[in-house]
């Protein structure tokens, strides 16, 4: 991705990591070539109730900060190393790390080779590193212990004017991160039902449909640019205020995250709101989430409590992150090898993009 101002994209597998009874493992394979210090990735682990589609550190120039309770593992700007932040009721605690040693000191960075990264986490300890190289940036206690024992896992890619790190002299620029083999153990599956369109607005019908009814204990999840957002679950016969996710700040001229109960059986949601600075309101990335386990055969797993995300090729025409319809029609799609497109996607994957100042990108009206 390339954010001349600021851009980011998140994907979230439909399995939470569970560490209530001890240590849990999150592993993934990733390319290591990096041409700009202003282009980086991170991982967020957040309780489902209270998580944000678009979490971001408060000092960065977009959005509304992190969720109240979360763990963020972030690739650093100077060295290819990681730091960890623990947030408790928005108060941040930094974990000591061996941040001065980048992966470039013990491997040859590659855009084509995927190296394995690992997070080992319990309520009172965290370890982050590359097991194949027997190197860990963080191996520290968490004190006091975390106030949650399982969380949604969100992988992010950030782009903050990447050409600026070399003063636009042509030696640096936006990066492509190649991902593969995301692995969570123990893993707790949950249901994600994706809407039939990526976005809606007043001139686009102002509604979305879902391919199946909302399950019990379901939650409507979306982001919106606008104020006074309202939703209707009965075709517009009645309306209620949309419930925003708690956030550290409340800037209105950016996309904000929403999360609220949705009645079981709902297959359509209508939206209304007020625009900002002459722009119409805009809703995108609408889905239904539920901790009720999905029906039908389980997602491809290696054991009852271990989940793997299998990646498929995607199309990035017009800078849009889209999954081919046929890839999602049959559920999980198993790829024989690492996919080679410039952004990650998997079946039942949650994709989120934010943009500097909350304005709409040229081609995707919000992507």
Dihedrals phi, psi of 225, to nearest 5 degrees: -110, 115
Write down the pTM of the prediction. 0.82
**Pick from 84-88, 251-255, 267-271, 325-329: least confident:** 325-329
pLDDT computed for residue 146 by the predictor: 98
Residue range 75-101: mean pLDDT, rounded: 94
**Mean pLDDT for all residues in the chain:** 84
Strands (E), 148-255: 150-159, 179-185, 187-189, 191-194, 199-200, 207-209, 218-225, 227-232, 240-241
Could you give the CA distance from residue 269 to residue 284 in angstroms, rounded to a whole number? 12
Query: What is the Rg, in whole angstroms, of the alpha carbon atoms belonging to the chain?
Result: 20
Higher-confidence position of 32 and 328: 32
* pLDDT above 80 for 332: no
**Pick from 7-16, 88-97, 169-178, 327-336: least confident:** 327-336
| Count of H-run helices and E-run strands, the chain | 1, 25
- pLDDT band (50, 70, 90) for residue 1: confident
- pLDDT band (50, 70, 90) for residue 77: confident
- State the residue for tokens 């493992």: 25
**Pick from 221-230, 291-300, 345-354: least confident:** 345-354
pLDDT computed for residue 293 by the predictor: 75
Q: What percent of the chain has pLDDT over 90?
A: 73
Domains of the chain: 1-190+294-367 (2.60.120.200), 192-292 (2.60.120)
| Residue closest to 54 by CA, chosen among 309, 224, 179 | 224
Tokens (6 digits) for 251 = 């800037």
Residue range 343-348: mean pLDDT, rounded: 35
* pLDDT above 80 for 80: yes
* pLDDT above 90 for 336: no
- pLDDT band (50, 70, 90) for residue 309: low
Residue range 82-94: mean pLDDT, rounded: 97
Give 228-261 pLDDT, tens digit per residue: 999 999 999 999 999 999 999 999 999 999 999 9
* pLDDT above 90 for 209: yes
| DSSP element (H, E) containing 328 | helix 325-329
* pLDDT above 50 for 341: no
* pLDDT above 60 for 72: yes
* Bond before 186 cis per omega within 30 degrees: yes
Could you give the CA distance from residue 238 to residue 220 in angstroms, rounded to a whole number? 17
């Amino acid at each position: 991705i390339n954010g001349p101002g600021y851009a980011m994209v998140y994907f979230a597998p439909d399995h939470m990591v569970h560490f209530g009874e001890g240590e849990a493992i999150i592993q993934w394979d990733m390319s290591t070539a990096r041409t700009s210090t202003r282009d980086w990735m991170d991982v967020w682990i957040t309780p489902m109730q209270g998580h944000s589609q678009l979490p971001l550190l408060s000092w960065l120039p977009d959005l509304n900060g992190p969720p109240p309770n979360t763990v963020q593992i972030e690739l650093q700007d100077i060295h290819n190393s990681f730091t960890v932040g623990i947030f408790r009721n928005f108060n941040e605690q930094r974990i000591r790390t061996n941040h001065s040693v980048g992966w470039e000191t013990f491997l040859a960075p590659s855009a084509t080779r995927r190296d394995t990264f690992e997070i080992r986490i319990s309520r009172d300890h965290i370890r982050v590193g590359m097991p194949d190289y027997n190197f860990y940036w963080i191996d520290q206690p968490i004190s006091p212990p975390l106030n949650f024992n399982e969380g949604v896992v969100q992988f992010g890619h950030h782009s903050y004017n990447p050409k600026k790190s070399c003063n636009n002299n042509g030696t640096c620029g936006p990066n492509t991160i190649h991902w593969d083999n995301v692995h969570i153990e123990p893993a707790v599956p949950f249901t994600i039902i994706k809407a039939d369109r990526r976005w809606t607005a007043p001139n686009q019908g102002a509604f979305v449909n879902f391919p199946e009814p909302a399950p019990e204990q379901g939650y409507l999840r979306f982001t919106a640019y606008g104020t006074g957002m309202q939703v209707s679950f009965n075709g517009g016969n009645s309306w209620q205020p949309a419930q925003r996710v708690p956030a550290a700040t409340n800037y209105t001229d950016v996309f904000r995250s929403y999360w609220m109960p949705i009645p079981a059986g709902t297959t359509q949601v209508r939206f209304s709101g007020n625009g900002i600075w002459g722009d119409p309101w805009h809703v995108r990335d609408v889905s239904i989430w539920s901790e009720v386990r999905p029906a039908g055969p389980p997602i491809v797993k290696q054991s009852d409590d271990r989940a793997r995300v299998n990646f498929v090729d995607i199309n990035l025409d017009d800078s849009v992150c889209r999954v081919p319809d046929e890839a999602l029609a049959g559920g999980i799609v198993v790829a024989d090898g690492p996919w080679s497109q410039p952004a990650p996607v998997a079946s039942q994957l949650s994709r989120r993009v934010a943009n500097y100042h909350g304005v709409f990108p040229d081609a995707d009206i919000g992507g």
